[in-house]
Amino acid sequence: MSINATPTGADTAVEETERHATVPAQRGSRRKAPLSENKKAERKLGWLLCAPAALVMVAVTAYPIIYSVWLSLQRFDLRFPDERQFIGLENYVTVLTNEFWWTAFGVTMLITVVTVAVELVLGMGLAIIMHRTLVGRGLVRTSALIPYGIVTVVAAFSWRYAWTPGTGYLADLFSDGAPLTERASSLAIIMLAEIWKTTPFMALLLMAGLALVPEDLLKAASTDGATAWQKFTKVMLPVMKPAILVALLFRTLDAFRVFDNIFVLTAGGNETSSVSMLAYNNLIRGLNLGIGSTMSVLIFITVAIIAFVFVKLFGTAAPGSDDGERR
């Protein structure tokens, strides 16, 4: 969510001078000089104000994830609590050699890649419409916020009934059978539901980048005879790059967590389970804490790898990399 988008091109020089002008003043306290009473008080207040938020965040995420690693090393089935014992990495072997896991992993990857790619294109279009439209800007923005705000489960039910033969307006239009009972069409509908719900969020993040594109630069490009497409690829895209990367990263990790839509649309039937769905089923339906935790840990590791790859690939443009510097 946070990135210090450093606009390339015309703005950079201005931005730089501003930064140099303001930073030393704020940073003064970092020097080795002994801290004044005032600075000490400021530090203390800073820690005091951040402590509750930091404490809650760490207590509810760090501790459970560590506990989760511990659980994943045990045979722990709530239906047979007496058989609980430490078994090392056996659960990992069980999960990683299980075809359901890999099917779910494949489904999750497919959904992530396809939805994020489609959303990037549609989101860019929507962002441009929301940003530049000459008429009804408020109306467009208000409508676009509805998919963003609506409860995912509600939207999922709407899609489910839309594709139910007889009941739905879409089912009879596109197919003779029941689309939610076949694998390919189920997956397509899940992706449609995801795309509908999250494109506006992508568009809003992109619009934030769009707002950074200097109007003068576009005018100058027009004067030089650039076509609309050239303006888009040569002027807008480079300036928007940081915003695009943030949007991609956030949506990718969010898409990887896909759960609600699948739960309502297919309940994971016909091999449409995502990894989240599978972990949930093992835990709540199967009451197998050992296997469920193992999947939790594996999902956590996968997400960490995806985030790491993003940061590595895109270097300083990635969120977080610049945070420590400027704050």
Partner 1 sequence: MATGTETTTRARLRWGLLDVLVVVFALVPVLWIASLSFKTPATITDGNFIPQEWTLDNYRTIFDTDQFVRALINSIGIALIATLIAVVLGAMAAYAISRLDFPGKGLLVGVSLLIAMFPQVSLVSPLFEIERQLGLFDTWPGLILPYITFALPLAIYTLSAFFKQIPWDLEKAAKMDGATQGQAFRRVIAPLAAPGLFTTAILVFIFCWNDFLFAISLTSTERSRTVPAALSFFTGASQFEDPTGAICAAAVVITVPIILFVLFFQRRIVSGLTSGAVKG
Instruction: Answer yes or no whether residue 56 interacts with partner 1 by CB under 8 A.
Output: yes
List all residues 6 or more positions away from 76 whose beta carbon is below 8 Å from its beta carbon: 84, 288, 289, 290, 293
Q: How far apart are CA 128 and CA 115, in angstroms?
A: 19
* Shortest CB 10 distance to partner 1, Å: 17
Residues in 70-99 at the binding interface with partner 1, rule: CB under 8 A: 71
Q: How far apart are CA 317 and CA 296, in angstroms?
A: 29
- Select the span of 15-23, 44-52, 85-93, 99-107 touching partner 1 (CB under 8 A): 44-52
Instruction: Answer yes or no whether residue 280 interacts with partner 1 by CB under 8 A.
Output: yes
Residue 114 or 306 having the CB closest to partner 1: 306
Residue 108 or 187 having the CB closest to partner 1: 108
* Shortest CB 185 distance to partner 1, Å: 18
Of the candidates 13, 20, 27, 34, which one interacts with partner 1 according to CB under 8 A?
Answer: 27
* Shortest CB 319 distance to partner 1, Å: 6
Of the candidates 221, 243, 265, 317, which one interacts with partner 1 according to CB under 8 A?
Answer: 243
Residues in 204-233 at the binding interface with partner 1, rule: CB under 8 A: 204-205, 207-209, 211-212, 222
In the beta sheet, which residues pair with residue 86? 74
Residue type, 142: T
Instruction: Answer yes or no whether residue 52 interacts with partner 1 by CB under 8 A.
Output: yes
* Shortest CB 102 distance to partner 1, Å: 17
Instruction: Answer yes or no whether residue 12 interacts with partner 1 by CB under 8 A.
Output: no
Alpha carbon dihedral 164, 165, 168, 171, in 10-degree steps, equals 100
Of the candidates 18, 23, 67, 177, which one interacts with partner 1 according to CB under 8 A?
Answer: 67
End-to-end CA distance of the chain: 15
H/E/C letters for each residue in 43-65? HHHHHHHHHHHHHHHHHHHHHHH
Q: Is 107 left (phi over 0), alpha (psi -120 to 50) or beta?
A: alpha
Phi and psi angles of residue 280, each rounded to the nearest 5 degrees, phi first = -60, -45
Instruction: Answer yes or no whether residue 249 interacts with partner 1 by CB under 8 A.
Output: yes
- Select the span of 61-69, 79-87, 98-106, 178-186 touching partner 1 (CB under 8 A): 61-69
86 CB-contact burial (10 Å; exposed 0-12 / middle 13-18 / buried 19+): exposed
Instruction: Answer yes or no whether residue 57 interacts with partner 1 by CB under 8 A.
Output: yes
Instruction: Answer yes or no whether residue 309 interacts with partner 1 by CB under 8 A.
Output: no
- Select the span of 16-24, 81-89, 93-101, 259-267 touching partner 1 (CB under 8 A): 259-267
Residues in 123-182 at the binding interface with partner 1, rule: CB under 8 A: 126, 129, 132-136, 138-147, 149-155, 157-159, 161-162, 166-169, 171-172
Instruction: Answer yes or no whether residue 245 interacts with partner 1 by CB under 8 A.
Output: no
Instruction: Answer yes or no whether residue 313 interacts with partner 1 by CB under 8 A.
Output: no
CA dist 17 to 24, 33, 197, 326, Å?
12, 26, 41, 14
Of the candidates 8, 12, 36, 61, which one interacts with partner 1 according to CB under 8 A?
Answer: 61
Phi and psi angles of residue 93, each rounded to the nearest 5 degrees, phi first = -60, -45
Provide DSSP, 64-88.
HHHHHHHHHTEE-BTTSGGG-EE-T
Instruction: Answer yes or no whether residue 13 interacts with partner 1 by CB under 8 A.
Output: no
What is the number of helices (H) and of strands (E) in the chain? 15, 2
* Shortest CB 322 distance to partner 1, Å: 9
Instruction: Answer yes or no whether residue 101 interacts with partner 1 by CB under 8 A.
Output: no
